[in-house]
């Protein structure tokens, strides 16, 4: 994704330490991955989150059904956090299906879903959209695209039909490219896993991604977690965590 979100950073004002972290995030952003943009946009804030483990751990959850809902149906969650300077921010996660289209790198026809993250603070807002290209009907990942920069899948692993709290596994691996041309050069990798967790008694299906540069040095990670019922229905509660440059950012709505 482009660097256009780097300009939105109201929470770093008046904080030398956060400005330094933001500068490091901007250097990270040269790898031009979607995760890099999120780091540069969200590294300005860090907030706490409660724990808890009240839901029955022996209950099986239909994780494959929930995953299909997340990728194939419209959903939106608005979360909140507070920066170290006490300035509040909101973060909206939205998933919306798009018309089918070919993946720019390979030309393979794909089902598409847009994941949009909108950050708001002090009367300002900025957003970025990642387009997910998926195989139909398996929903295996073909690749990502954002602002003319692509990542192409190198492996996929299907989620199980059901799982218990504490379970986790691989989803996909991507090669992050410097463009969406068929002769694009790889500049890093992104790997993704799923996990089934409990937070404050809420069952969560988490989509975790970790990015590394071309030398294999970790750049950062994100965890997008949404409420899941035993039958795989997605709920109204969600949590978002980003870690990079020694800083962890958290936003939630419960």
Summarize the confidence of residues 120-124 as an average pLDDT.
Answer: 85
Residues 6+ apart with CB under 8 A from 17: none
> What angle separates helix 34-42 from helix 16-28, to the nearest 10 degrees?
170
pLDDT of residue 248: 77
| Rounded mean pLDDT, 105-116 | 96
pLDDT at 96: 98
- Please give the structure tokens belonging to residue 20: 């330094």
Q: Look at 122 and 70; give whichever has higher pLDDT.
A: 70
Question: Cα dihedral sign for 16, 84, 248, 114?
Answer: negative
Q: Which residues pair with 169 in a beta bridge?
A: 194
Flag whether pLDDT at 149 surpasses 50.
yes
Residue range 129-144: mean pLDDT, rounded = 95
- HEC sequence for 47-59: CCCCCCCCCCCCC
- Computed over every residue of the chain, the mean pLDDT equals 81
Would you say 35 and 128 are in contact if contact means Cβ atoms under 8 Å apart? no
The rounded Cα 93 to chain-centroid distance in angstroms is 9
Give the H or E element holding residue 203: strand 202-213
Q: Which pLDDT does position 219 carry in this prediction?
A: 87
Largest Cα–Cα separation, the chain: 51
Tell me: cis bond preceding 184? Omega within 30 of 0 counts.
no
Q: Running DSSP on this structure, what letter comes out for residue 4? A: G
Quick one: pLDDT band at residue 85, thresholds 50, 70, 90?
low
Task: Collapse the DSSP code of 27 into the 3-class scheme (helix H, G, I; strand E, B; otherwise coil) and give the result.
Answer: helix
**Is residue 9 over pLDDT 50?**
no
Give the model's confidence band at 121: pLDDT under 50 very low, under 70 low, under 90 confident, else very high. confident
Burial of residue 162, with CB atoms counted within 10 A of its CB: 0-12 exposed, 13-18 middle, 19 or more buried: middle
The tally of domains found in the chain comes to 1
Which carries the bigger pLDDT value, residue 34 or residue 166? 166
Query: Is the pLDDT assigned to residue 243 strictly greater than 90?
Result: no
- C-beta neighbour count of 118 within 10 angstroms: 16
Q: How far apart are CA 252 and CA 121, in angstroms?
A: 15
> What's the pLDDT band for 55 if we cut at 50, 70, 90?
low
pLDDT band at 18 (very low <50, low <70, confident <90, very high): very low
State the pLDDT at residue 42.
53
Mean pLDDT value across residues 203-227: 94
pLDDT above 60: residue 205: yes
Would you say residue 57 has pLDDT above 80?
no
* Beta strand spans in 83-157 (E): 88-102, 109-121, 124-134, 141-146, 149-156
> For the whole model, what pTM was predicted?
0.81
The single residue listed with the structure tokens 């998933």 is 95
φ, ψ of residue 12 to 5 degrees: the values are: -85, -10
Confidence of residue 58 (pLDDT cuts 50, 70, 90): confident
pLDDT 10s digits, 164-190: 999 999 999 999 999 999 899 999 999
63: closest CA among 185, 252, 231, 182?
A: 231
For residue 3, give both structure tokens.
């660097």
Domain that holds residue 170: 4-252
Residue 66 confidence (pLDDT) above 90: yes
Q: How does residue 88 score in pLDDT terms, banded at 50, 70 and 90?
A: confident
**For residue 23, pLDDT beyond 60:** no
C-alpha to C-alpha distance for 239 and 229, rounded to whole angstroms: 15
Q: What is the pLDDT of residue 44?
A: 46
The whole-angstrom separation of Cα 76 and Cα 236 is 8
């Amino acid at each position: 994704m482009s660097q256009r979100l780097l300009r939105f950073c109201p929470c770093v004002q008046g904080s030398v330490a956060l400005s330094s972290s933001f500068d490091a995030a901007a250097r990270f952003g040269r790898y031009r991955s979607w995760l890099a943009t999120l780091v540069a946009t969200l590294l300005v804030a860090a907030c706490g989150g409660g724990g808890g483990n009240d839901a029955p751990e022996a209950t099986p959850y239909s994780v494959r059904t929930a995953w299909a809902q997340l990728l194939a149906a419209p959903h939106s969650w608005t979360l909140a956090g507070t920066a170290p300077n006490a300035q509040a921010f909101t973060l909206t996660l939205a998933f919306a299906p798009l018309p089918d289209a070919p993946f720019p790198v390979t030309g393979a026809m794909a089902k598409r879903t847009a994941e949009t993250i909108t950050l708001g603070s002090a009367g300002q807002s900025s957003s970025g959209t990642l387009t997910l290209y998926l195989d139909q009907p398996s929903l295996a990942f073909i690749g990502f695209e954002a602002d003319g920069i692509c990542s192409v899948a190198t492996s996929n692993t299907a989620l199980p039909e059901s799982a218990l709290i504490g379970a986790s596994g691989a989803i996909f691996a991507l090669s992050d490219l410097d463009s969406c041309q068929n002769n694009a050069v790889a500049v890093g990798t992104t790997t993704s896993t799923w996990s089934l967790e409990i937070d404050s008694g809420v069952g969560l299906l988490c989509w975790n991604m970790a990015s590394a540069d071309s030398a294999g040095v970790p750049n950062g990670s994100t965890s997008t977690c949404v409420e899941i019922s035993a039958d795989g229905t997605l709920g109204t509660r969600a949590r978002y965590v980003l870690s990079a440059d020694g800083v962890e950012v958290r936003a939630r709505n419960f």
